Amino acid sequence: MKQQRASVFASGTGSNFDVMMQDEDIANSIVLLVCDKPGAAVIEKAESLGVPTLVLDPKIYSSKQEYEKVIYEKLQSLEVDWIFLAGYMRLIGETLLSQYEGRIINIHPSILPSFPGKDAIGQAFRAGVSKTGVTIHYVDEGMDTGPIIAQEEIEMIPGETEEQLKTRIQAVEHRLYPNVMKQLMQNVTEEL
């Protein structure tokens, strides 16, 4: 039975990446970190854990297609089965979508379809909604529009700060995402 191989795409500090790497089953499947922000904290974390990195500045490429072609070639060379987005702040384009259809997963800090895009926690906080939460979904060509895999709501607490809300949402992310990742990869392995 072939073990599933995964790449994590991240742009920032890598708090979800940290949690993934603490789970032995997931850590053993992660063969590459892709980062679009040279100097992002997640790069150093990956390197310290022995995870190979591919760091590309999209601005040096003439098109999204050219940028993603470099990523795709690296993913193919490592026989990557899954792409897990963890704070990757770029829309995935046709080059990767066509090759990894149904195998690119994103985590988003709101109950989609509410508050897609950047600063979802801030959007929900400023809107004064009674609930928000976390969504894990398949990636399609839209911004946070792909089919939903899992969601978990949390109640807003009157008087809490945006930072406190962010901490509570991250706690849900850090529990939910690894569980979904393992289920997806295990289901595929069992089908082989």
Q: Looking at the annotation, which residues are catalytic?
A: 108
Pairing relationship of beta strands 148-155 and 131-138 according to DSSP bridges: antiparallel
- 78 within 8 A of 30, measured Cβ to Cβ: no
How far, in Å, CA of 92 to CA of 8, rounded?
13
Please give the C-alpha separations between residue 46 and each of 40, 53, 76, 122, 188, in angstroms, as whole numbers: 11, 7, 20, 28, 26
Cβ contact 117:41 at 8 Å: no
